[in-house]
Every structure is written in C-alpha cells, then in structure tokens.
Amino acid sequence: MRPKKQDSTTQELLEPLLVNIIDMKHPLIQLADKIDWEYFEKEFGSLYHRNDGRPGIPMRMMVGFHYLKYTYNLSDEDVVHGWKENPYWQYFTGEKVFQTKVPINPTSMTRFRNRLKEEDLLKFLEETINTAFRSGYLNKNDVKKVAADTTVQEKNITFPTDIKLFYTMIKYLVKFSKKHEIRLKETHEYSGKKLLMKYSGYVHAKQYKRAGKAVKKMKTKMGKLYRSIERVLPEELRNSDEFQQLKLFYESLWNRSKKSKNKLYSLHSPEVECISKGKSHKRYEFGNKVGFVGTLKKNFILSCKSFHGNPYDGHTLEENLCEAKTLLGSNGTIDTILVDLGYRKHNYRGDAKVHVVPRSMKKFKVNFKRLLKRRSCVEAMIGHTKRDNRMDRNYLKGKEGDKANAILAASGHNLRLILAFLLFFLKKFMDNIAKKLANFANEVFLDKKYAKIYV
C-alpha cells in the first residue's frame, strides 16, 4: 500500500518539537529545506499498490535514509540506529517531533532498493543536481566544461584462487544434497578443508609443486562429489533451475584453463569480472567498470553509470554523456569534454567537443594547457567517492546492486559537497555579523577596552 502523508498538526503531550531543540541554520537543515521531497512521492508512488497491504514507510524517510547512508558512509544498520540519537537526521527525514524509537528495520532499506530500477535510482542523482542549482552551488557556466573517466567498483569477494573455488563448489553441492535429502557415501567437505589448510602452508613455504598437487586433488574431489550426486538425482530435480545453475558453475570450474575467457571468479557473485587498470599497487581488480562525468571546477558528479562486460573506456563515453545531459535537463549544456588517452577511439558523435589530453602538452598555448591540466580533477572526484561514499567495496547483490551502489555513492558525494558549501556560507555569514557588531561597538564606545568587552 502507498505510504500515507505525515500529519504535522497532531502532537503528543509533552513531546519536544525538533525546531525548539536544533539549530535551524545548520547546513543539514538548510539542505533538507532545499530538496524537493514531493518529487520522490510522485515518482515512486507507482511502486506501491494503491489500496492493498499495510501502509508503507513515508517516502521522504526512505529516500532520506539512503541519502544519509551514502553521505556519511554508513551501513543500513548504522544509519537506522544513529537516526534515533540525532535530531538533525530526524528533521532531514521529515519528523516534526523528537523520536526515541527506531522507525524501521534495516532490512526495509534493502527491500526498498530492490523495488527500484536503474531509471528510478537516477532520480536520486538528478535531485542532487537540481538541489545544487537551487542552493547556488552550481550555475550554467560550471557544467559547460566536464571531465570523463572510468574506474573499477570492487565487489565484496575474497581474492579468487582455483583451490578456494573448488572447495566452495564442494560446499554448494553438499548443501544441495542436504536440502533434497540425497544420501552421499562421502561429502569430501572435511578432507577438503584440511587440504585447503595444507595448500596455504605450501604456498607460504614456497613449495609450489606440492601446492599444485593439492589443487589437483581438490578438483578431483569436486568431480567425484558432483558425479555421485548426478547419478542418484531424480529426473525432476535434474531439470530444476537450481541444479542447472550448479551444473553451469561446475562445468565452468572443471573446464577452465589459464587462457580461457569469461572465467568464474565467485559463486555467490557470478557477474564479477577481472579488470586490469594498470595500477602498480593493484594489478587486478574484481568487480565491474563504472564511468564518471564531472564538472571541472567543483568536482560535482553529473553522471555515474555502471557497465558490465569490461568494455573499452572510449565505448562508454556516449552513454555517460547522454545520461549527464538527461539529468541536467534545462539546467545547462555541455560543450567541452576532457578525457585521457584511454578514450582515443571514442564513440561520441554529439555536438560537444572532446579533447583527448596527451602526455606532452608543450605545443599548446598557456590558457589551453591550463584547461587540459584540469582533467586530472576527475581522479580526485573518483577517489573521494570511493573512500568517503561506499564505492570502494560494493556489498549489494547482483548487477542491480552494482548499478544502485554506484548511483547512490555519486549522490552521496554531491550532497557532501553541497553541505560543505552551506557550512562555508554559514561561517561567512557569522563572521560578517561579528564584524558589524564590532563596528557598532566602536561607534558607541570610544574606549577600545570597553568595545572589546562588549564584543
């Protein structure tokens, strides 16, 4: 059922109003007043049934929880339990009276995210852009020149090795047999665990021949277990989706070689890809590629799109810029794009001009060289989004989780910049008031000693 609107007229006796216990000039309060919360109620109302079921949680509360989660780099549990202690967060999510009980279970945030598709999630990012223009942080000149780049969003998986994947497959097969009450002569689970411990000792001692033999033994155990289950499996279970998925995983692991493509790196996240970005400290990363488009001056993210299949960087530019223009709407147009050498054969055919920044810029004029050097600002933007807004490690499930985490992380980054902007102007406003008071005191009191006391 659709969420009901909160009634601000009713108030329990002796309950403190939030406006009486918080600073209304706080940046988070100013930000809450600038966000168009009714926009989310209109857009997300269709995700709920009109009449059936229990009334949903207010839309402002669910959207506000996700904004707070990614702005302050918190888990679902931390943001829900921290809300009870923070009156500013309560005002941000639409409360009028100070609450002492947790409003939702953290799993409600997961169920809410699962309702949203990619086009719904983009509304989170779109509203941060509109809020930046409303607050004065951005103007039309700021979005004319942008920089684009890609990074890897790593999945929350262990570093994949053959022996660990073989042992994980053994555990999946044992779990399947227990679920369907298939009696096995030997599960190989205990002996496989001992073999895995031996393997780690061999590698630590640099005894690679023994380690290789341990990998072969684990693979043999996996094959024995799979064939023993397949022999006694009834026909209806053999054709079930659950066993067909296990069969697909088994064949991928059994037939893999050093040069085989589309390898399986994780059984609980089969969509994970191995991507090499040429980093000296991290040769391979396991996750998916994410493309960014951000402003040159203020490092504000205009587009954040998740890609699967490890595409060439230049082939992501068209989609990224189309998304940025859609999210900008009537707020401005992009006319200059700066990219690195990874975009040399890009697929963009629009009106904006693309400049591929070379390694050497000696032949360019000073002003143009200064513009090209600003391309590196996108690296800092990506680094902050990863470190401060939960894109460094993706805990959400599946390809949908990859898209959701990237877009919401970009939204959190943008809100963090707007909050810093509002805090800066608050300090500037307070400094101006202090100066005016000092000038007034100097005019009223001729003695400077008394003027200092007055101030």
Q: Distance between CA 139 and CA 145 in Å, rounded?
A: 12
**Which single residue is written with the structure tokens 């082939």?**
315
Q: Where are the domains of the chain?
A: 18-115, 125-157+273-418, 162-255
Question: Which pair of tokens denotes residue 55?
Answer: 């009334």
Q: Distance between CA 361 and CA 402 in Å, rounded?
A: 37
| Range with the poorest average pLDDT among 47-51, 126-130, 151-155, 171-175 | 47-51
| Range with the poorest average pLDDT among 49-63, 118-132, 142-156, 157-171 | 49-63
Four-residue CA torsion sign, 392, 397, 402, 408: negative
113's CB contacts (< 8 A; 6+ apart) are 66, 396, 404
369-422: pLDDT as tens digits: 999 999 999 999 999 999 999 999 999 999 999 999 999 999 999 999 999 999
- Among residues 183, 179, 169, which one has the least CA distance to residue 232? 183
The answer regarding whether domain 125-157+273-418 maps to CATH 3.30.420 reads yes
Full-model pTM: 0.90
Q: Distance between CA 211 and CA 201 in Å, rounded?
A: 9
Q: Distance between CA 324 and CA 101 in Å, rounded?
A: 40
- Among residues 320, 302, 298, 322, which one has the least CA distance to residue 311? 320
92-138: pLDDT as tens digits: 999 999 999 999 999 999 999 999 999 999 999 999 999 999 999 99
184-220: pLDDT as tens digits: 999 999 999 999 999 999 999 999 999 999 999 999 9
Question: Residue 318 burial (CB < 10 Å; 0-12/13-18/19+)?
Answer: middle
Q: Are 314 and 307 in contact (CB under 8 A)?
A: no
- Among residues 52, 55, 83, which one has the least CA distance to residue 69? 83
> Above pLDDT 70, what percent of the chain?
91
